[in-house]
Structure 1
Amino acid sequence: MAEHSEDSSVTEQIEEKPRGPPSSSSSSDSEGEKPEPAPSVLKAKVYRLFGREKPVHHVLGGGKPADVMLWRDKKISAGVLTGATVIWVLFEVVGYHLLTLVCHGLVLSLVILFLWSKACTFINKSPPRIPEVSISEEHAVKVALTLRHEINRAFAVLREVALGRDLKKFLTVIAGLWFLSIVGSSVNFLTLVYILFVTLHTVPVLYEKYEDKVDATAEKAMAEIKKQYAIFDAKVLSKIPRGPLKDKKH
């Protein structure tokens, strides 16, 4: 009887014992498997050049111009780059003038089309199909609005710099304008436009291909630039006397 009572008390203790956490094997497995961070967290930690948050194609405006600059269609991109190179050679190497080139091109095109149309009437064939070229009002308005927006933004930046509210932006704008003046004194305007055109057709596609390596190098460079700017600010800029700047609230 004593043994029976002891067995019953043990069973009651086992039944009354609360359910604890899972076994040690399952807990060790759960502890061994670390939860993977969300893709958004990983993406937020990646440094992108100029604070870029969108793909390169979207940054360039998307559509056909971005496709041409990123060589989505190699034939069209190569044709555009070849045409720009031919124009640059004609103006800079051969020595053509813009008005002369336009007039000669129109004369040659009109003579060829005129003779072709006349020849088709003699051999009883359909004349060449010349498409009607016209600029739609929608495209003209879109270009004008885009140009207006960029000009107004440039004026806003210049006004903010002139008001002396941001010393860092002031130094950046002055350095950029100084650099452009040096480049402008070294090459003429057409060569500068051609260099920019070639740059737009080579740098974006190379950056898109090697963006991870470029962004990692740019992150290190920006950290070093900020470090040097902080030293320059502490030794030079902070010692420049400044008057009180009061922002007016409207």
Structure 2
Amino acid sequence: MAIGENTRNCVVIGGGGFVGKAVVMKLLELGNWIVRIADSGTSPVSCLSDERDSLLSNAISSGRASYVQVDVRDLSQIVIAVEGSPDVFYTNAAQSYEAGFYLSHQLIVQGAKNVIEACRKCKVKRLIYCSSADVVFDGSHDIINGDESLPYPWKFQDMLSDLKAQAEALILFANDNDGLMTCSLRPSNIFGPGDRNFISFLVQQAESGWSKYIIGSGENLSDFTYVGNVAHAIISAQEALDSHSVSVAGKAFFITNNEPVKIWAFVSDILEALGYQRPIIKLPARVVSIILSLVDWMHEKSGAEKNCFESAKNLVKSASCTRTFNCSAAQKHIGYSPPISMEEGIAITIDSFTQSANGTFSTRCTDFCEQSKVDKLLGGGKVADILLWRDETKTFTCFLTLGLLYYWFCLSQRTLISSFAELLLLVAVFLCGHGNMPLNIYGFSIQRISSSYFEISENVTRDLAATMACSWNEGAHIVRLLAKGENWSTFLKVAVCLYFLKLYLSYSFSVVLGVALVFVFTSFYVYEQYEEEIDGIAKLLFVSVKKSMELIMKSLRVSFGSNLPDDLLHEQNALFGKNSEVAIQQILHDGVHSEECIGSS
């Protein structure tokens, strides 16, 4: 498209970033903008362009887009970048804790001051700043349908939110200063193609195996915003400032997809589509926060970098709280309406990440969908779900019940018969009382326990008998293998089991039972989490034992051979060869047989 008289000039500061590039592409798609891209990268190719991105490449070659390298900490560079442009879109901000406080403050707060000063000097008319919904979140309290009346919190969730709030306040305060009109947009949880924060963090956690966990109840809602909708809102804010600035200038607006979703359902959909395992294990948010704080404190005491676990702690806070926002003000004053739905945005995001991974996600999907070894061992049913802590409520209930039974029979200082008698008495009293209770008490209905509840079906009985028979046959098969003396693997397994049984029997029954109860509810869970590591250690130990046994057998063969008479050694070498185990066994057998014959005669 040729540059015409109706085209307008603008500058996108941070145009090489995640949001900045989306704004650049949206402006170029509209066709009536000449875009100057200001970014800290060394060139437009390395910072923002893609060889497949023909729109951007054609715009740069035709003059509709240009690039200038800018460091927001340098006022003179910003002045050169914004000179002659009436509109400035500011999307540049530090997004990582790796920068540290001083550098983050320089990039966010001092950068905002420099951008404001440069806009005033260059007589810029409109400055639109991309902030974040995090500026009103304190990290602990839920936000339900929050609007622009929410104040900045007394204590912010993290350092970056604090600095962004300061930058936003500076930009809003600069409104109507030397003819400059400003406004700020607060998108919530931006996602989309090219995201190096939220989606990349999920992928990293999935690669490391931490994506199995759900922090908190998993029922909390959150608002997410597709990056293309953020770009649409930023341009809509510029148009609103240009036409009816009174209701927009100096104001901040929340921007979302207007589709609050359960945060862990959203995370699960993303991970599953990328070929990773869905989160299935629930962890209490408070416990996780305490553990992370403790680990962070230990790292700090050991001289490691401070706040190295800050992003993880903030993820725990955000993932366990409800954060939804009301976009009615943005709809009313800047005409914002998300053109891309959540479903479409997720599909575009997944497609971009899948293509960038060169088809490796399908392989991961196959790997993660496969049952783990311990799940197969436990049968993959209710027992597996309980012992692998896939449902915290059921697992804790079972553990508490077994713990109470353990106390009743083993720690109550009563005999086994008296314990059974008292337990049966309690059950009988409970069932009798429950059966005589009215069907309705103060509006609460009482469910009757059917007599069939205590019956055992024929199928269950047959399955139980079949299980016992299979166990017996498996034991007989193991005994036969041990009798042959050909399977070292089975021998070692049985030996280890018998050794641990000996250790258990050396203690009292109550101690053994208590240890077994704790072991069952922890060992399977730990093994599933660290299956590869434990298998690797076991394999290393098995190979070491096997090598040791081979060396012992080799030394025994050498010692036996050295004690044989010369004529037997000559016969061995002639018939079988020097290093033949069969030869040694045959010669020894013949020698023993000869001695028996001499002794009998």
CA offsets, 1:70-95, max 9 Å, x none? 11111111111112222222222212
Distance (Å, rounded) in 2 between the aligned partners of 1:141 and 1:238: 56
| 1:203-242 to 2 correspondences below 5 Å | 203-236=523-556
Asked whether 1:106 is paired with 2:427, we answer no
| 1:8-157 to 2 correspondences below 5 Å | 54-55=371-372, 56-115=374-433, 117-118=435-436, 120=438, 129-132=448-451, 133-157=454-478
Instruction: State the one-letter code of the partner of 2:505.
Output: G
Asked whether 1:185 is paired with 2:506, we answer yes
CA offsets, 1:201-248, max 9 Å, x none? 21111121122332333333333233223222322478678578xxxx
Instruction: State the one-letter code of the partner of 1:76.
Output: K
Distance (Å, rounded) in 2 between the aligned partners of 1:145 and 1:178: 29
Which residue of structure 1 aligns with residue 216 of structure 2?
none
Structure 1: stretches of 5+ with no match in the other structure: 1-35, 44-52, 245-250
Q: 1:159 to 1:63 in 2, by over 3 A?
A: same
Q: 1:118 to 1:187 in 2, by over 3 A?
A: closer
Q: 1:186 to 1:239 in 2, by over 3 A?
A: farther
Shift in Å, 1:171: 5.9
Asked whether 1:202 is paired with 2:512, we answer no
Q: 1:127 to 1:169 in 2, by over 3 A?
A: closer
Alignment partner of 2:438: what SS? helix
Q: 1:191 to 1:208 in 2, by over 3 A?
A: same
Shift in Å, 1:145: 0.6
Q: TM-score, normalised by structure 2?
A: 0.29
Instruction: State the one-letter code of the partner of 1:75.
Output: T
User: Does 1 or 2 have the higher relative contact order (CA < 8 Å, sep 6+)?
Assistant: 1
Q: 1:204 to 1:115 in 2, by over 3 A?
A: closer
Moved over 6 A (4+): 237-241
Distance (Å, rounded) in 1 between the aligned partners of 2:490 and 2:384: 29
Alignment partner of 2:506: what SS? helix
Comparing 134-143 with 82-91, greater Cα deviation is found at 82-91
Q: TM-score, normalised by structure 1?
A: 0.63
Q: CA RMSD in A?
A: 3.8
Q: How many residues align?
A: 197
Percent identity, aligned pairs only, is 25
Distance (Å, rounded) in 2 between the aligned partners of 1:237 and 1:194: 47
Q: 1:212 to 1:117 in 2, by over 3 A?
A: closer
CA offsets, 1:20-63, max 9 Å, x none? xxxxxxxxxxxxxxxx9x959xx8xxxxxxxxx95132231111
Query: Contact 1:88–1:191 (CA<8 Å) still a contact in 2?
Result: no
Q: 1:203 to 1:157 in 2, by over 3 A?
A: same
Alignment partner of 1:186: what SS? coil
CA offsets, 1:163-212, max 9 Å, x none? 44446644653554344234212232x54344333322211111211223
CA offsets, 1:128-186, max 9 Å, x none? 61232211111111111111111111112112322444466446535543442342122
Distance (Å, rounded) in 2 between the aligned partners of 1:238 and 1:205: 47
Q: 1:172 to 1:59 in 2, by over 3 A?
A: closer
Distance (Å, rounded) in 2 between the aligned partners of 1:112 and 1:183: 36
Alignment partner of 1:96: what SS? coil
Query: Contact 2:435–2:448 (CA<8 Å) still a contact in 1?
Result: no
Distance (Å, rounded) in 2 between the aligned partners of 1:107 and 1:231: 63
Shift in Å, 1:119: 5.6
Alignment partner of 1:224: what SS? helix
Q: 1:119 to 1:64 in 2, by over 3 A?
A: closer
Q: 1:108 to 1:158 in 2, by over 3 A?
A: same
Query: Contact 1:117–1:128 (CA<8 Å) still a contact in 2?
Result: no
Q: 1:182 to 1:235 in 2, by over 3 A?
A: farther
